[in-house]
Amino acid sequence: MLRLSLFGARIAISASMIALMVGCGSSADAKRDEGSPGPSSGSEESGSVQTEQDGTSSIERIDINGDQKADVFKFFRVLSGTGDTAKRVLIRKEMDVNFDQKIDIVQYFAGEAGKEVLVREEMDLDFDGRVDETRHYKDGHKSLVELDMGFDGRTDTWRYYQKTQTEDGRTVVRLVEKRRDTDGDGTVDVWEYYTAGSLQKIGYDTNGDGSPDRFTKTGKK
């Protein structure tokens, strides 16, 4: 049931993200691969934008759906200049994807002006004001996803990803390991190991020492 609930929350998020990500200036790997928060009727390119600058800080407020309320907020560090000629670095972006005036997704960026890349993304999948999924990015690709599968405010699942190549030479980002805290005590007790995207082995901590001591093979050799 928890997995179905999480899947449903991601579906509710994904439709809005398609529109809200247009013109966001994030890395290519920011595209949704597992779904991401509810309905949208516009994009950043078509929405009205208000810009404010205070010294070395600047913020853009963007109204996506035309209700005269900002839905996307971009925060910049100003390097030089003012107004439209200012040289700025995007450092954070906040999005209200279901238009309830509450932030559902926060993205953090690093890099030079015009070459910013996404380094972390926090999502409230069920719109209760708490982060349910945090994605970490390294060198432009997803490296770790932390999940609260129980929607109780505690991280209980960690997914590790690695960039690799397929047999036909395509570059892909694949799940290589999943760690789970199944009893809610804050300690990992189940490890899942993947090869080429397929589950190969599961490890269990049966004595509570924080390491797997019993293994079950599930994949082909």
Q: Give pLDDT tens digits for 97-134.
A: 999 999 999 999 999 999 999 999 999 999 999 999 99
Model confidence at 173, pLDDT cuts 50, 70, 90, reads very high
Average pLDDT over every residue of 168-188: 95
Phi, psi for 203 (deg, rounded to 5): -110, 145
pLDDT at 45: 63
pLDDT at 90: 97
152 against 21, higher pLDDT: 152
Both structure tokens of 186: 């804050």
Q: Which of 18, 28, 16, 22 is nearest to 116 (CA)?
A: 28
**Distance in angstroms (rounded) separating the CA atoms of residues 164 and 108:** 25
Given a cut of 70, whether residue 8 has pLDDT beyond it is no
Given a cut of 60, whether residue 75 has pLDDT beyond it is yes
- Contact call for residues 8 and 125 (beta carbons, < 8 A): no
Given a cut of 70, whether residue 33 has pLDDT beyond it is no
69 pairs with which residues across the strands?
none
- 77 CB contacts (<8 Å, ≥6 apart)? 56, 57, 58, 88, 89, 91
**Distance in angstroms (rounded) separating the CA atoms of residues 210 and 217:** 20
118 against 4, higher pLDDT: 118
Q: Name residue, tokens 């980002």.
A: 173
125 pairs with which residues across the strands?
none
- Looking at the chain, list the stretches that DSSP marks H as alpha helix, in order from N- to C-terminal side: 2-20
What average pLDDT does the chain have?
84
- Contact call for residues 163 and 141 (beta carbons, < 8 A): yes
- What whole-number percentage of the chain has pLDDT above 70? 78
Given a cut of 70, whether residue 28 has pLDDT beyond it is no
With vertex at residue 79, the alpha carbon angle to CA 77 and CA 82, rounded to the nearest 5 degrees, is 95
pLDDT at 40: 40
Choose the weakest-confidence range: 5-9, 83-87, 126-130: 5-9
